[in-house]
Structure 1
Amino acid sequence: MADRVLGGRYTVQDKIGIGGMATVYRGLDTVLGRTVAIKTMLPQYAADPSFAARFKQEAQAAAALQSPYIVGVYDWGKDGDTYYIVMEYLRGTDLKSGIGKHGALDCRKVAQIGSQICQALSVAHGHDIIHRDIKPQNIMVQPDGNIKVMDFGIARAKNSHLTADNSVLGTAHYVSPEQTQGKELGPTSDLYSLGIVMYEAATGRVPFDGDDAIAVALKQVNEQPVPPSQVNPNVDATLEGIILKCMRKNPAERFQTADELRRVLNDYLAGRIVNLGEATSLITATPTSQLNRTPGGRTQAMPRAAVSPTTTGRIPTTGASHASSMQVPEKKPMSKGKIAAIVIGVIAAIALVAGGAMALMGGNSATKAMPNLEGMTKDEATAKLAEYGDGFFVVSTSEQYDDNIEEGKLISQDPARNTQCEKGTQVSLVFSKGKKPAATVTVPNLKGMTPSGAESALAELNLKGAVGDSVESNDVENGKVASQDQAAGSDAKEGDTITYHLSSGVGKADAGDHSGESLSSAKSELNSLGFTNINVTHAYSSSVSKGYVISQSPTGSQSKDTSITLRVSDGPDPAQSSSNNSGNGNSNNSGNGNSNNSGSSSSSDTEDSETGSEGSNSSN
């Protein structure tokens, strides 16, 4: 992949990361000359239309989000079999690595990071996009200390039906209980994940851990976190209350919007009183991972004191003596298989586990697996669903343009294939309208631009540029755009190619000598040679007819921007003609008979009004 050029513009350089669906490279935008990050879909997914559609959706969704706290998406496309997204190249380290290296952060820094993440989420939620994968690995801390939220790879707009399956796609340590259970997600799901991020930043560890994702997911649903101050005594009461309210199991008891949480964090940072309501004060700590082995090998939960609310939101512990008096019933060890069975029943969203278990258990007679409708037309898909019985699936269809899916064929289905569905399940099917018609754009005026400037101006309108033959130009300097084939202001379609021509500077031509020619003929010939700076002066002449050129300056080979002066005859001087006298052989001059006076006179030429005479006068 290294050194490959994608889209004729982006040079792929070294690999900087790899995820579940894509590889990320550092690259160079050869048009704008800037370093970028290029995400390319892994080959095993690029051939799958549903994954390709999801990858495309990721680019479109992320590109719409403009915030100083969200990584910028510049471009996306397909080159051969490779789908790619071009993003802002970030310098710094992810928050997960920072916590691993430096340990728990101070309370103010935790709140500052949380506030900035809230601003990013506010923008996303305003576009009806739930991130669904907020975790420290997706929070980049830049050299100036500010953060950017990355990877909207599993984000999904509320009105979109694109998803590979109903499984939990995020990391188990950070997903909300409702995401673990496959329920509908809203903004509060991202706020739960943010609460866990702040918990880890404040304590140096995640609140729930286990041997595998299933065990962790089960704890997300059923267990309460150890209050942060019991892990790190430096966590103050107010920040602890904020974090624990984010992590309430019931979404209705959390902060309801990212803006609400941001205001609370900003109040905390400013030293103002923070009102967290009643929900947080009701949290009771329960055992999580502290287990004690009894002599008989049975696992017994370590006792933890009950807690009571305070006005500050702190979850205090009771005395040790009280804790030691608590009686905790012994539990029989639960096998991993039984845990999986419980999770399958509760965590319906983990599709791979659930699908395998349903196959082993023979399924549920009250549910049916969603069929795979990939590649079907609307008639074929609806007929297939009708086979399951009248009213089992309630089908709604819609259409959208898709450059990669044949017109009339299915783009996506929701629920995804193999999902266990009950009677009355709402099914949304999206079918392709074929390639989206190119939008009409107005051709920009490229004259006077550098080649890179012209390419940028065209790229902003999704137009392509092509350099034609160089042309001479009297008014555009060498190397800049002198003309373009498609006129500025005319209409073009996105993707069209606009050919432009660069100036080779002012040329030279033989101006010749047009003395004796008519003015109109001389000017026309000079114009045809590229001389446009022509000055005309007038003078009387008895030898050159009126309207004809007496003289030209300069003549011969000249630069085409040279000023050419044509001196044009106005005919004989009237004053000179009236001074001619004829008589009886005598003249007003005394002499011995005849006297002849001869001479010529002329006046200097001017461009606006000039007089002059040439010739001889005689008298007897």
Structure 2
Amino acid sequence: MTTSQTDPMIGRLIDGRYQVRSRIARGGMATVYLATDLRLERRVAIKIMHGHLADDSTFKNRFVQEARSAARLAHPNVVNVFDQGQDSDMAYLVMEYLPGITLRDLLKDYGKLTPEQTIDIMEAVLSGLAAAHKAGIVHRDLKPENVLLADDGRIKIGDFGLARAASANTATGQALLGTIAYLSPELVTRGVADARSDIYALGIMMYEMLTGEQPFQGEQPMQIAYQHANDAVPAPSAKNPAVPAELDELVLWATEKDPDRRPRDAREMLDRLLEAEKSLRGEAVLQPTMVLPPAFEVDAGETQIINPAIRQQVAASTPAATDTLTKAAQKRRSKGWWLFALVILLAGVAAGTGWYFGAGPGSLVAVPNVVNTAPDAAASRLVKLGFKTTQAPEYSTTIAKGMVSSTDPAAGVHAAHGSTVTLRVSQGPKPVTIPALAGKSLDEAKGLITGVGAKVGDTVQQFDAKVPANTVISATRADTGADISGGGPYFEAAAVNLVVSAGAIPDVAGKSVEDATAALAKVGLLTSAGPQSYSDTVPEGKVISAQPQHEPVRPNDTLLLETSKGPEPVAVPDVVGKNWADAKKALTDAGFQLKYSAIADVAPSAFVVSKISPGAGTEQPKGSTITINFAGF
């Protein structure tokens, strides 16, 4: 049964633009198809996430991350990413199509490579990776399967599905998704990856290219991981004596267990590789690498790197073959001479074809970067290079309205003379409508903001006795400060600032200063000594109130603690010589308690006060007791 009969994607039109032709490969997360871009009339590779992963946000984010990481790079040794999107429930990624094989296929066919072939391939891989590292991108999944060898001789790095920003340097479970055979010790033990982790993986790949096998092997993945974490990678020459000392040193440097002792990035390792190449090729002129079919399968659609010396290596290390293998080798050699003859023939007509592909209508020109320039100026520059142009609107949060925000094809992509480059002109940020936010919980408000494409700006708390804790009090536009608590028009990616209730300030009246300070500290408030006041209700030394120094009160503000001096002192009235009725009224009105003979209440006006204690005129606290004596008693 053919692939077209079993795969429903064959023949499908994706997003009204990409016509699926055939399946190229299938992986754990996605399937790659050969497709035709009907708009630009070119072959592309389209990577479609498996349907059962479409609802998993983690996998979908990782899929989108691949597009964003690779799209940031424009380098001859990195697979170009043209487009990314979603058609119904399918997430897809559009890349340049590179007919050929992978480095893994090459190693399967030939076991190990010569030092010269290894240098050629590593030079291309390090060049592409150096561009990624310079852009702040760590690949995190370098292995022979992700090194593509195109039929036309180009070598490119692909599959940035695990790439992360180098500055993040974070540890996640995703770190161990990289193939275990190429994981650095820090990824195995701590889950931390940076540019030096990619260098370690390249060192393992280089060892495998020179020796035909990986340095660490085991029946279980954990056995291999343990060796990466604890054992030193041996010199390749211990397995293959033909490996020169310069490449031994490069492999050992790249695979140091301590990341600080490795090259800091791909550029530093590339410089050392070029020095080694100069040293080696300065001693003997090496024959150039040729592109030929696989060892035991003649197929013009597949690619392999080989030079004349490799046949001698293969013959010397391979036992006597059967007649079939002998015929295959003879066929391979005859085709190699035919290709050599073809090269000579092509050199003879290079003048004509050179014009067609170099300056004529068949040439390819890199699309220049015209982002953030005026459309007329961008069109003029493109026309001078032989392109046609058209314009299309596009919302942008980073490029000013009226300026070019992106191009299709993207900057750095090679396109044919006379092809059309679409200039996408920024319309500014996309308008959005913010829902009402006041009265919503903080989490709910954040979801409403991000749900329409805006972003959450500054979030501050303030104490409010009328609004429950963790509830939005107000919202404002970050650009103008205008109130947007009840919702209103805004723009995509613009920030909304929120004021959120921290609840009521705790009531500390009647508490000791220590207890009041502790209670306020629990909600993030500081305290300082405040005024002292008389109080008839709060005992001396206790807190009367916590006084804000400004409104509104927010966490980390300082409150002044007002403390009690007890009741206010009052002068004792002079009632000596007055009858009891008048004297009693004067003393009780002044706030004193009285101690006297109860018989005086029988006929108050008949009793005269002869003495009081404490005496008249002395200041006594309100509520204190005055002792009364009467004349004749």
With normalisation by structure 1, the TM-score equals: 0.45
Of structures 1 and 2, the one scoring higher in RCO (CA 8 A, sep 6+) is 1
Query: Higher helix proportion, which one?
Result: 2
